[in-house]
Amino acid sequence: MRPKPRYRHSAVVYQDTIFIFGGVDTQQQRFNDIFSFETEQRKWSEVETHGLPPKERTFHKAVIFNNVMYIVGGFDGSRLNDLYHIALPGSLEDDELA
């Protein structure tokens, strides 16, 4: 499954995989989904998460540290000042969203 076209999303690279989160489409629908793109297999997949997901957002930041993807702040119609983390495959934590 491919993600819907979007912009103002975040993208981070972990090993041979690109992860994208959030963004907005041309009809101004914001997203809070996460997709991975495996560069060697050229394959998209939706990432299954557990727990309370982040709100739909744009203008946020994302980074990977110690095999965990962090999503910080952004805009959902108002400014957001929050932090979420997603354990990526191969991390020491279970795949979870907190």
Token couple for 10: 């975040």
CB 83 within 8 A of CB 98: no
Q: Shortest CA distance to 39 belongs to which of 65, 20, 64, 58?
A: 20
Task: Give the Cα-Cα-Cα angle 20, 21, 22 (nearest 5 degrees).
Answer: 135
20-58: per-residue pLDDT in tens?
A: 999 999 999 999 999 999 999 999 999 887 778 899 999
For residue 5, tell me if it sits in a domain. no
For residue 96, tell me if it sits in a domain. no
For residue 18, tell me if it sits in a domain. yes
For residue 47, tell me if it sits in a domain. yes
For residue 95, tell me if it sits in a domain. no
For residue 1, tell me if it sits in a domain. no
pTM of the model: 0.85
**Rounded CA gap, 61 and 30, in Å?**
15
Q: Give the least confident one: 8-17, 19-28, 30-39, 85-94.
A: 85-94
Q: Report phi then psi at 44, rounded to 5.
A: -90, 145
For residue 45, tell me if it sits in a domain. yes
For residue 93, tell me if it sits in a domain. no
The residue range of the domain holding 67 is 10-87
